[in-house]
Amino acid sequence: MDKNTIVAAAKEYISREKEPRFRDEVEKLLAGEDWKELEDRFYRKLEFGTGGLRGVIGGGYNRMNPLVVKNATQGLVTYLKKAFPNKALSAAVAFDSRHYSPEFAEATALTFAGNGIKTYLFSSLRPTPELSFAIRQLACDTGVVVTASHNPKQYNGYKAYWNDGSQVIPPHDTGIIDEVNAVTDIHELSRAEALAKGLLEIIDKSIDEPYQAMVRSRLFRPELIRAKAAEVKIVYTPLHGTGAFHVEAVLGSLGLNVITVPEQRDGNGDFPTVAFPNPEEAPALDLAIKLGREKRADVVMATDPDADRFGIAVPNKAGDFVLVTGNQLGSLLADYIFLSLKETGKLPARPAMVNTIVTTGMHKRIAASYGAECIECLTGFKWIADVWRKSEAAGTPTVVLGTEESYGYLVETEVRDKDGVSAAAMTAEMTLYWRSKGKSLLDRLDELYLRNGYWQEMGISKYFPGPEGPSVMEGIMEEYRKNPPAVLGNIAVEKIRDIRESVCWYLRDAARTEAVDLPKSDVLQFFLADGTVVSARPSGTEPKIKFYASCCSEVGDGGLAEAKAEAGRKLDAIRKDIRAVIGDD
């Protein structure tokens, strides 16, 4: 990107950005002729990915700031008015604990209002799943939550939702971006004007209470909870995010003893006690596990800053806390939900769950053991919501659970995104249920392994920041397409599924191909001779390429210990082959 282009883009931004803090940043960079930093801020515009807009907070078109937020909202408005002509539109807006989240949320709401759209805004931080619930509860046409989910503190984001409460998917996402790129004028009102005209309404309790009631209503055994709640002790951390209000209220109303990590209870965009506010990262649970040991907790729970992701750790027989992966908790929840529906006589005629193409294959076996289907979709919870919506429209199958490997779970129909609050309530009940049978969650997980084989998963990520990052990642993917590996981890590759090209082909029989019935996406999957699946895809929200591997070792005479060792050996060898291509972090 040449200097003249950078200067022109920077000056245009300065002329349009009304907030001095962000405008001044770019003016100082221009005055200091910091071309490298300016290029990073202007070489592209933030685009909708698997989670909408997400970027580092700061001035520039490749940053999160009020102008980018207003631009995105104005483009969304234009698209909505074309999609729903002659309709009185409405929107819901929420935000999390990140820096500038309240300001970005208000900018969003006042841009909606400036375009004549009735907007419902929460007065303080609320979880992402509650925003999805609010859209459906209020019959809104769209919604936005300002959050960067589990990203580091320098990030913020903007998740756009459709009228069914799910995140925007094609063709709407690209259609919105086209309108965003065409924006020349932004229409907005002041807060006072929006309130006076009835175009802005503050919502809190009117949504909070129905949401909490809904979460409680999805539980299977309220009588068990009433009888046994006092026996279970839960330590919980919201990781400085939005989760404490609802998790404490819901679990507390059930009589459960919830001890929240005091240092992490209140919202704080600096996330001072963790490097990454992500329950997928083991260090994020250090304080909670420490408190769990002190309090002799039965389970440690964590939600990420916008409380859509949920993770747990549970004590083993020696009293040491074991982190449960997203795939493992998804397996436990699938088993518990299907089992509970069966025991209560509520199992649908054609039950189903939904997971993503990079989630454990164990789910298929668990579902099959209950006569249920496991439907796969692309990575990103919006695709799980899409399958759920289509199944409801068709009348069959009946989806009862959606889950993905990255700690996302949906156990209710009233929300169309992953919900860490309802997952916490369901996990609490599940813990009580297995405790009443004399088992821990780890005991039940071992039983599932004995029945379905031992499954282990692995994830590898490599960041490629800066203007050259996308081309580097594209080069890696293209090299895999042109010269696919014949073996990975010393195991033969039997077939390759190229979701971008909508084809599955066999390495040793080039004439044999199969169509892929999934939306196009830049994903490659390698199916190995032993059933292991290795997937590669560039992230939709961050400058990184991601690899996933899911392998199974059947449990033989050597028992679970040998099966675990075998799976570990396989994944170590696969990891070595992938690192040889992308390098180490």
| Residues assigned a catalytic role | 149
CA 221 to chain centre: 28
| Pairing assessment for the beta strands 408-410 and 487-488 based on DSSP bridges | unpaired
Structure-token pair, residue 420: 């860490």
- Can you name the residues that pair with 90 across neighbouring β-strands? 118
Q: Which residues of 127-144 are buried (b: 16+ CB within 10 A; e: fewer)?
A: bbbbbbbbbbbbebbbbb
545 and 476 Cβ atoms separated by less than 8 Å:
yes
Residue from 183, 202, 172 nearest 80 by CA: 172
Q: Cα Rg for the chain, rounded, in angstroms?
A: 24
The residue type at 127: P
Other beta carbons within 10 Å of 101 = 26
| Pairing assessment for the beta strands 90-95 and 118-122 based on DSSP bridges | parallel
Q: In sequence order, what are the residues at sequence separation of 6 or more whose Cβ sits closer than 8 angstroms to the Cβ of residue 557?
A: none
The residue type at 85: P
* Helix, strand, or coil (residue 142): strand
Rounded Cα distance between 360 and 163, Å, is 31
Residue from 61, 91, 93 nearest 77 by CA: 91
The crossing angle, in degrees rounded to 10, of helices 244-253 and 420-436 is 30
Residue from 519, 520, 551 nearest 534 by CA: 551
Other beta carbons within 10 Å of 216 = 16
Residue from 411, 433, 430, 404 nearest 215 by CA: 411
What's the CA dihedral at 205, 210, 215, 221 to 10 degrees?
Answer: 120
Rounded Cα distance between 80 and 78, Å, is 5
Residue from 192, 186, 195, 190 nearest 70 by CA: 186
Whole-Å CA distances, 521 to 175, 239, 319, 414, 460: 17, 32, 44, 28, 19
Q: Is 541 exposed, middle or buried (0-12, 13-18, 19+ CB in 10 A)?
A: buried
Q: In sequence order, what are the residues at sequence separation of 6 or more whose Cβ sits closer than 8 angstroms to the Cβ of residue 274?
A: 239, 240, 264, 281, 283, 284
Whole-Å CA distances, 522 to 147, 473, 481: 25, 11, 11
